[in-house]
């Protein structure tokens, strides 16, 4: 039987983000975020749902931390709402907003749970959006100012910091597809935002080096891309998609270069970077956070948008409630790829999990066997990558709680803990109990 135990000190965590769980978005002097504005615009989110209450974590954070402790969770990845702390995006600090995050990290410390704080998980202050948002070249400077406020306030208690969560999603969903705030569809703007996000990431890292004493990294969502056939057209389409999804942010941030496919894939929308800009965005970082959910099989699609590729469904595969292919081997593949391409930088799996149509049994029991299987197979895949020498230091399940899944509202449930959104009752699912065993045995409970 294979040994599935993980290295000593492996960090076992759970992840959430501010707008998805906190609720009370305007409480205690907070300013609105683009997600508050977007979700309150008709027909943007499933059934016009919004994050006004969500999991009410802003008021129930102590109970949620107690629950994590009960489940044996050792680390908690959360994000900070920029507009709670800086209601106008820049300038005046809202002491009450900042105080929420101070209390949160104090409570984590009291429960022996290590915090990992993400500075940006998609909820840009609306006040910044009103000044052009991420398309404004000053956004990098504004982000660094906000980062500095947070570092000064929390670095003594937060050992791990993430600058941006999934910049690819910010660009693709926010500026290409328009399904996320701020809801635009403009490839040229997407190109500008992609560059400004990388500059913002680097500016925050620089601010961190000036004052921070711990570790800071970047979180990206990575997707193995396989060609649908052996044809040159499909192979090139897969390659363009790989550049678009996987290398667009990591190559500049870690290698100080652009993937060679960028001009081809963005076409007329593309504008070249200067050598100075490339040098500026490649600030050394302490780790890369990888969010892993699915694989894509790509075919050439000359009539499609700039990357000119389309996804081909795999009839033999299992798909989740998000319609994402379950493909655990891809996690081993992507971890090994990052380690070999970017020089075995320390890695964390900062998100991994599955949305399912959970069925609650009459006595309130939620036996989410498929989620247990999903976690089991993905954790084994992670363990396999470690066995080949990948420096993987931790795993954060997405998500601790069922929550607000962006344009899908509350219709997609990713939690290992069920949330009844009427009563706010939390009920650990079978997957939460399974995770408790995995953590207690440092992976031994994964079985052969």
To ligand IFM, the closest distance from the beta carbon of 291 in angstroms equals 5
Phi then psi for residue 11, to 5 deg, are -95, 120
Judging by beta carbons within 10 Å of its beta carbon (0-12, 13-18, 19+), is residue 235 exposed, middle or buried? Answer: middle
To ligand IFM, the closest distance from the beta carbon of 96 in angstroms equals 25
The single residue among 4, 6, 17, 409 that binds ligand IFM, judged by CB under 6 A, is 17
Closer CB to ligand IFM, 153 or 417, in the complex: 417
Closer CB to ligand IFM, 22 or 351, in the complex: 351
Judging by beta carbons within 10 Å of its beta carbon (0-12, 13-18, 19+), is residue 86 exposed, middle or buried? Answer: buried
- Applying the rule CB under 6 A, the residues between 372 and 411 that interact with ligand IFM are 398, 405
Closer CB to ligand IFM, 166 or 234, in the complex: 166
- Applying the rule CB under 6 A, the residues between 153 and 182 that interact with ligand IFM are 166
Kindly state whether residue 348 participates in binding ligand IFM, applying the rule CB under 6 A. no
Cα separation values, 372 from 20, 317, 329, 382, Å: 23, 17, 16, 15
| CA gap 160, 215 in Å, rounded | 5
Using an 8 Å Cβ cutoff, are 372 and 437 in contact?
no
Beta bridge mates, 405: none
Closer CB to ligand IFM, 245 or 266, in the complex: 245
| CA gap 233, 221 in Å, rounded | 25
| CA gap 277, 286 in Å, rounded | 21
Where does 165-301 have alpha helices with state H? 167-171, 187-211, 232-242, 250, 262-266, 275-281
To ligand IFM, the closest distance from the beta carbon of 407 in angstroms equals 10
Using an 8 Å Cβ cutoff, are 287 and 346 in contact?
yes
- Applying the rule CB under 6 A, the residues between 283 and 312 that interact with ligand IFM are 291
To ligand IFM, the closest distance from the beta carbon of 178 in angstroms equals 17
| CA gap 216, 209 in Å, rounded | 9
Closer CB to ligand IFM, 266 or 327, in the complex: 327
Beta bridge mates, 309: 300
Task: Kindly state the number of chain residues that form the binding site for ligand IFM, as judged by CB under 6 A.
Answer: 8
Q: Which residue has the tokens 């409480």?
A: 27
Judging by beta carbons within 10 Å of its beta carbon (0-12, 13-18, 19+), is residue 78 exposed, middle or buried? Answer: buried
Kindly state whether residue 351 participates in binding ligand IFM, applying the rule CB under 6 A. yes
To ligand IFM, the closest distance from the beta carbon of 337 in angstroms equals 19
Question: Residue 355 has which token pair?
Answer: 């949305």
Closer CB to ligand IFM, 242 or 351, in the complex: 351
To ligand IFM, the closest distance from the beta carbon of 432 in angstroms equals 18
Kindly state whether residue 208 participates in binding ligand IFM, applying the rule CB under 6 A. no
Active-site positions? 166, 351
Interacting residue ranges for ligand IFM, rule: CB under 6 A: 17, 20, 166, 291, 351, 398, 405, 414
């Amino acid at each position: 039987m294979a040994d599935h135990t993980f290295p000593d000190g492996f960090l076992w965590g759970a992840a959430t983000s501010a707008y998805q769980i906190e609720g009370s978005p305007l409480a205690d002097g907070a300013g609105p975020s683009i997600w508050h504005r977007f979700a309150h615009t008709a027909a943007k989110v499933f059934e016009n749902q919004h994050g006004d209450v969500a999991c009410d974590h802003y008021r129930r954070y102590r109970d949620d931390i107690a629950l994590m402790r009960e489940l044996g969770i050792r680390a908690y990845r959360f994000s900070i709402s920029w507009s709670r702390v800086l209601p106008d995006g820049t300038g005046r600090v809202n002491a009450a907003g900042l105080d929420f995050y101070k209390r949160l990290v104090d409570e984590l410390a009291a429960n022996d749970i290590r915090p990992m704080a993400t500075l940006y998980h998609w909820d840009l202050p609306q006040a910044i959006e009103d000044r052009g948002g991420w398309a404004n070249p000053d956004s990098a400077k504004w982000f660094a100012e906000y980062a500095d406020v947070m570092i000064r306030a929390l670095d003594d208690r937060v050992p791990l910091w993430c600058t941006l969560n999934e910049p690819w999603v910010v660009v693709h969903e926010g500026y290409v597809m328009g399904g996320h705030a701020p809801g635009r569809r403009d490839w040229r703007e997407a190109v500008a935002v992609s560059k400004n996000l990388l500059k913002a990431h680097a500016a925050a890292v620089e601010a961190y080096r000036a004052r921070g004493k711990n570790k800071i990294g970047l979180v990206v969502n990575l997707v193995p891309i396989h060609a649908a056939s052996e044809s040159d057209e499909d192979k090139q389409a897969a390659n363009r998609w790989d550049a678009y999804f996987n290398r667009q942010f990591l190559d500049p941030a870690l290698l100080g270069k652009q993937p060679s496919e960028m001009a081809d894939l963005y076409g007329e929308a593309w504008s070249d970077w200067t050598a100075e800009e490339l040098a500026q965005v490649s600030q050394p970082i302490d780790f890369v956070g990888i969010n892993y959910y699915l694989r894509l099989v790509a075919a050439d699609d000359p009539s499609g948008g700039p990357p000119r590729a389309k996804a081909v469904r795999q009839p033999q595969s299992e798909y989740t409630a998000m319609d994402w292919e379950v493909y655990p081997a891809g996690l081993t593949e992507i971890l090994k790829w990052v380690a070999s391409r970017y020089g075995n930088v320390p890695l964390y799996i900062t998100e991994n999990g599955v949305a399912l149509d959970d069925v609650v049994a009459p006595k309130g029991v939620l036996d989410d066997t498929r989620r247990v299987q999903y976690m089991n197979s993905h954790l084994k895949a992670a363990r396999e990558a470690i066995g080949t020498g990948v420096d993987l230091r931790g795993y954060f399940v997405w998500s601790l709680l069922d929550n607000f899944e962006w344009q899908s509202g509350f219709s997609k449930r990713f939690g290992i803990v069920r949330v009844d959104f009427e009563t706010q009752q939390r009920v650990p699912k079978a997957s939460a109990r399974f995770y408790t065993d995995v953590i207690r045995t440092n992976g031994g409970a994964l079985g052969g």
